[in-house]
Structure 1
């Protein structure tokens, strides 16, 4: 009787501890619950988590819709998300090259090896992604320009203003007042300090015929050895006397066609009424840079500080990681995310395989077989081959 009573007391005590842990042993703490960031930028959703003693985390992930859908496995986020956390306490998520459709509420979920060992951190982090637009309002003696966003940017940014492609002013206020009426050729654009390459489209203050340059793509990632076209559309209020492309890392703008490092590899195509294109062939990694376009007239020169298109040049490498027993996972990796969602090609012992066409490929780890990868349309620029886990 005594033993039975003591045993009952022991069971009740353990059950009480389990209840306390179930209520208080779980937590997910988000550093910020609401973030507004620029389209094209990178954001970190930082958080930490706790779970009861005796549990072991078996999996954890972020989701936006269904609690069972890991955004890391969602094709919509392929190449854009990286989990920087662990299975102990850190649950930081990094999202790159943000798009407006990435605006959502992100929540973190963890699962453990114990019965009922699942927990979702609420309310999560609400992420809003916005672009920049310049709005013009008339005043009595001046015009007010406002660098407008669809949400209030986090961290009290400093705004940068450009007039005709030239750096004009910086201010913590999103508004800028032009003390005199602008000329018809004048255009204005704004950016946020630290994200100078993510500026707004240039707008005319008087009429619609002002001078401006609009780049087709702001960031591109292309293969070493290939050919790339970098395009822009430009409008000059007056007839142009010269047009050329240059690298922004040069102390003074230098026409790429006169740069010895690009001899025989650079070509300009296009006309005033269509896209003006810079074509660079036989790309090398040293070509990675920001490229800007400028033009001159008898009365006007487009400023050199206006951001252009940033190009990263990468090669291909095959990364080998263990998978199931007797299996290896091969991944065709690059130093940047290739533009335009490429189709991958795999080679076994120099012969092209029909499948798969994805960035990863599972194989048996036979040392006698070699594997390499390429990108469709650039079959001549494939990666070095690997034997199992060893490079050739």
Structure 2
């Protein structure tokens, strides 16, 4: 009888029986005792974590006449200690051999067996050694790879080497403390420019957690949020300089800036900054910029540039205006005063002429000075060319021999001036006697020498 694939369970007492044609039965007694022994491989402890200590124990219950030498196998191949911490320890008392791994690494995981050297049939069964370790080599992949257009979708996937396998994945965005999502994959639909940035995942099993490296999500979009700043801000004095700067949010960055002035179709300049030196009043107006990249173009809102005149020029213009207004007011008042004075003097002369009509003509009270008083503005303008530069008239009236101090009035006649003419003057002097010294009309007629009239009309040569 042949027993193949002999096992320890095959150990027993075996007997055989003979049967004859005459129904005879014969059995051996006692039978044959078969003791099946084997080589066993034991692992202590039964499971181990990376960095711990592992001991492999190989045993046999076979009765040998010598101390056996054991052979170790890993994944079907003969293996030997690879570090000084791994050593074979013979044990004559138990006829065993130990293989120690200290510390254990992931590379120690696999299928192990042992056997008795020189006895091909004395081999142990295989035992699988599992090394427990925290997540390692955690990484993130992005799909689709390359450029990601705004409005499309993207999926991030986290991978990690761990035993036992990772049971929890958490997603984070760099600079943001709160988690974005959980699960081995993280999908972003209808992606926006705000989703641009760096992401990473956290892998965790029952031993520890580990973060992956960062992966960049680059969302591509056209220009947006365009604005224009003015330096210096506020009022800009004529003759100074001003710089307009255009800012825009775009990915990839804006590669072309164009400047326009409102109501003007042709561009004023190009570049992110537009400088105007020695600004003038005609540079005032509203300006805007156009930002463009390969995904589109967009205009900014208009910004106003207000050019102010220099303060000295403004002060000069205001001063001249004030002086001119004051001169006009003074001249108007002077002409009004002259007109009123001329009218008053003419009325007094007419009254006196009426009083002295009955008296002798040998001593006239005053001469006719009607040519020297103002009649009307129109007449003065018409006769300006025929009049002399200066006119003086003095009239003295005396009704008493005792009167020494003459009474006089001065009238200045203002004529429209030309380059060759000057101002005309008229002076009238009257001396009215008091009640005590007043002469009667008859007495006045007897003393004609007291009554006189002088008219001076100096003439200046015209140039």
TM-score normalised to structure 1 length: 0.30
Q: Which has the larger radius of gyration?
A: 2
TM-score under structure 2 length normalisation: 0.26
Q: Which has the higher strand share?
A: 1
Question: Hey, which of these two has a bigger chunk of helix by percent?
Answer: 2
More RCO (CA 8 Å, sep 6+): 1
